[in-house]
Structure 1
């Protein structure tokens, strides 16, 4: 039993135990223990048929600290958690575990999407600048030729001066990409149906339609959320509008690009691509994506990994501290925005 004067909120960790091991350093566990009544080494992975220890902690919990591998918070789970008032998610999207039952009960939700946006935007910036210099193609060609060659002639027209970058989606990540591109001599176009001319002017970009963006940009980078309306938004018509040598960057979700339409454009060498996500997430073993010299294929690494997880943990614990002090979340997730956000 806790002492009557201990008014720290009760907290339970709910995520994959492996993720908890990567997310939380000793300093995070110490901070959690100072802010809340919690067992920082108890990680609940199954809330539907919990162990007695987890069931007892769930019954007391006022806050759940979640991350990747969090179990869905169904009406049944909530019934076993009568005191639960808040979910603090130490990662991006909450769609995998925060259900309608949570919103119906008025549970406050926050996520570390802002922290997770930063490494994705950094990866994108690197991809944009490397694409402009045609780094991938020349690295492959150099490895194959292993000889003196007139690279200046071959790369005539390459470079990053006054290139046009098309950003699809003014999501958190899209906005951060726009910010990171500011110091460079680049023209930035934006397609986002939720941003008006005033909003575009504030971001310092030119608002265009999607087709116009595809036709004008040297580099197209996709940062829209995965929702039904965005499935295959970059399809055969959009790819056909892209000029020869355009680079398509996708760090969002594989489903936003029609891969069947994209493959022939890549195999022919007409377009280049930087793909951190695909559909399916693991391309089949015989996919040409693995071997094409004009494709940089990475295994979904743009988002937080390694030491970058600590940034998400830090942001989540800042929110736990706000909750413990009776303050509203600095970065709440609002149910009304989930229809057009990640």
Structure 2
């Protein structure tokens, strides 16, 4: 009997994630069904009652803990229990409760695919921030005279800046790799980065305090953990160099958002933010109006190519699972706590 595979995501997201070829591959892997109603967790529990594999997206509602309580070894719905959650996105902690792992459910994610796009976006944000691209473009759109525009302070050359990378994660390392051709000096704050690894990366290790005080640009790439939550707090924000640029393509929980916004509004620093405490960002949010801030709607990883790679990587993982092969992107219990 074919393995029941249930895809739970909206029609719009499914069309963006899966090419026709990958959707066909997934269909050949088992008995495929697709649920486009992502309105509630309750409806999800019902449709997953007999599924062995569940494929999810970022619009999938959180999977209820009770679903996994009922799927512990020895307890079955029909002829199968849920054994694999294959997530087409990055973070799964919002989606899959830790109890799933306790009951033997395996989890895989596509975060490895996202690093390239996020790193590219981070470097673009750094250059655009240093050169004041958005303020110049906005002023031109608003009709500011050419003579006034060219009298504005000139931008800064990336080559001559000290760039601080917070977190030598997969995305942090991908960002470092893309920064190297520009010739800028890079500092990295990560307690798990060894001296040998730093040498291999061509960077200098620094404490977060040292990095904040020395860097012209601070780019955040750390996971959200109890130890990292609010790591860039009001005190450290106050120690940033005047005119420093802070780029956050990771998670807003890493920073004291109110303090960061205040520093930008006061003209002390510049900020490029792709992530926020409240998402979607409310229309009346001060983040949208602050002159010292450039905001984007959590799109750092969002490219046509990346979306298709996410779908392909997820199908590959499902096929490995069905065929009894090792998963390449499995979220272990340890990984769930650190970077899920």
TM-score between both structures, scaled by the size of structure 1:
0.86
- Partner residue of 1:24 out of 15, 18, 32: 18
8 A Cα contact 2:265 2:291, kept in partner: no
The 5 A counterparts of 1:240-319 are 240-283=238-281, 285-304=283-302, 306=304, 308-319=306-317
8 A Cα contact 2:166 2:220, kept in partner: yes
The 5 A counterparts of 1:97-246 are 97-140=95-138, 145-148=144-147, 151=150, 154-155=153-154, 158-246=156-244
Looking at structure 2, the residues matched to 248 and 19 of structure 1 have their Cα atoms a distance apart, in angstroms, of: 31
Which deviates further from its counterpart, 20-29 or 320-329?
A: 20-29
Do structure 1's residue 76 and structure 2's residue 70 form an aligned pair?
Answer: no
Cα deviation, residue 71, structure 1: 4.3
State how many pairs are aligned.
Answer: 330
Cα deviation, residue 337, structure 1: 2.4
Looking at structure 2, the residues matched to 203 and 51 of structure 1 have their Cα atoms a distance apart, in angstroms, of: 45
SS class of match (1:32) = helix
Cα deviation, residue 219, structure 1: 0.7
Structure 1's 12 and 44: CA in aligned 2 closer, same or farther, altered over 3 A? Answer: farther
SS class of match (2:219) = strand
- The corresponding residue for 2:73 is none
Cα deviation, residue 305, structure 1: 5.2
8 A Cα contact 1:267 1:288, kept in partner: no
Unmatched 5+ stretches in structure 1: 3-7
TM-score between both structures, scaled by the size of structure 2:
0.86
8 A Cα contact 1:11 1:62, kept in partner: yes
Cα deviation, residue 66, structure 1: 1.7
Question: What is the root-mean-square deviation in Å for CA atoms of aligned residues?
Answer: 2.7
Structure 1's 159 and 64: CA in aligned 2 closer, same or farther, altered over 3 A? Answer: same
